[in-house]
Amino acid sequence: MIAAFSFLIGITSTAENLWAGQNWPSFRGPRASGVAEGYPTPIKWDVERGENVRWKTPIAGLGHSCPAIWGDRIFVTTAVKGEGQSSLKVGMYGDVESVKEENIFNWRVYCIDRKSGKILWERQAHAGKPKVKRHPKSSHASPTPCTDGKYVIAFFGSEGLYCYDIQGNPVWEKDLGVLDWGYYRARSAQWGGGSSPIIHKQMVIIQCDVQKDSFIAAFNLRNGKQLWRTLRSDVPTWGTPTVYTGKQYSQIILNGYRHIGGYDIGTGKEIWKMRGGGDIPVPTPVVGHGLVYITNAHGRMSPIYAVRLSAAGDISLAENSSSNKHIAWSYSRGGNYIPTPIVYGDYLYCGSDGGRLNCFEAKTGKLVYRESLSAKRAAFSASPVAADGKIYFTGEKGDIYVVKAGPEFKLLGVNEMNETCIATPAISQGTLFFRTRHHLVAIAEEK
């Protein structure tokens, strides 16, 4: 058994080793991989009857941020409307209009015990009227918090960037001004942000591709001092930066429309860039097999790119080309609009917002299969996660599709959460944590 974990004095190196692979420190876990191995995870559960349900904790407000986990502590954020409930419109539709809210909101950070679901502490980061409008399917608390076990970072876009210690004591905060995420072709359509912060060593890294003066920046984790800021010539995007640190080619990798690229971690200097994306980039880059996988879809393009980590300079593809020295393989059509893909074993799985699942050989790009997760027209905003030979796809209406990993498509089961699910789940020690419309729910095999 893994030893009990204590945060009262700090994180020891021994405890860190014991928890290796089980902390889920930011959006979709380490390097946004979405994978947590080493424990059995369930195929079936029943929320209504409590089967394989460890606990279910109410969370106030509306937030699409995913759970972040370190040891026995879980962190989520939310935006609580002063009067009444925030509206939420789910499903497949093309409405670009915004939701304008005149109410006072409270932006909050919760710390929850992983074993019991008890709320350990709650902090109000900000209160006031939202500075920007949001998409009908979005929330004012969509970016996932991040943690290194000592500090917790919460990003609320125009409402600021906040740092707490693990006990919930405020450490620093930064006002980054009004950050206007929306459709660049319709400036009145404000949709709110979704790009999440990440921690790398003693740095907090954020990507802010907005309507004006887009940038990527790094801040000192301990005091919030800006270390560097690099301007980006791009339209609003919603992907989270991915940090890759290997023996070679360490870098920060960003999705984009006009500027997909890699940046030096220490300085923010551009390493490589390319053109050729969908014009509303949402998925986060994922790394595997010496490649970084980039996909997005909107407008005339919906590409999938497998870029070598050794890429340098302008690596944009020539017309009618699908590969070059820096791009191992690509497809011009068929990429994801909203969910981030997942590399699990030898395969790349791309689950679309419409429930289509494409499985590729990760190294070669060969299409292995193309299937639909649901016979009905289901919508998906959450990104898939994987463990124990299974991949979990979360539908917006709360249906969780469990797919067997491997070269043959097999749907192992479908489980109902009985609430809307927009947030990507987290996994730690064999427990799945689902953020629903009103709750955080822990799912694990009964012992």
Q: Give me the tens of pLDDT residue by residue for the chain, a chain 447 residues long.
A: 333 333 333 333 333 343 456 899 999 999 999 999 999 999 999 999 999 999 999 999 999 999 999 999 999 999 999 999 999 999 999 888 899 899 999 999 999 999 999 999 999 999 999 999 999 999 999 999 999 999 999 999 999 999 999 999 999 999 999 999 999 999 889 999 999 999 999 999 999 999 999 999 999 999 999 999 999 999 999 999 999 998 899 999 999 999 999 999 999 999 999 998 899 999 999 999 999 999 999 988 899 999 999 999 999 999 999 999 999 999 999 999 999 999 999 999 999 999 999 999 999 999 999 999 998 889 999 999 999 999 999 999 999 999 999 999 999 999 999 999 999 999 999 999 999 999 999 999 987
Q: Do the beta carbons of residue 330 and residue 320 sit within 8 Å?
A: no
Architecture of domain 13-443: 7 Propeller (2.130)
Question: pLDDT of 215-249, one tens digit each?
Answer: 999 999 999 999 999 999 999 999 999 999 988 99
Which one, of 183, 165, 163, 166, lies nearest residue 174 by Cα?
Answer: 163
Question: pLDDT of 66-106, one tens digit each?
Answer: 999 999 999 999 999 999 999 999 999 988 889 989 999 99
Query: Dihedral angle at the C-alpha atoms of 411, 417, 419, 425, nearest 10 degrees?
Result: -80
Q: Which two tokens stand for residue 118?
A: 């008890």
Strand 356-361 to 367-372 pairing: antiparallel
Q: Which two tokens stand for residue 135?
A: 């998409």
Q: Which ranges constitute the DSSP H helices of 112-268?
A: none
Burial 120-144 (b: 16+ CB within 10 A, else e): beebebbeeebbbbbbebbbbbbbb
Q: Do the beta carbons of residue 36 and residue 29 sit within 8 Å?
A: yes
DSSP state letter for 317: P
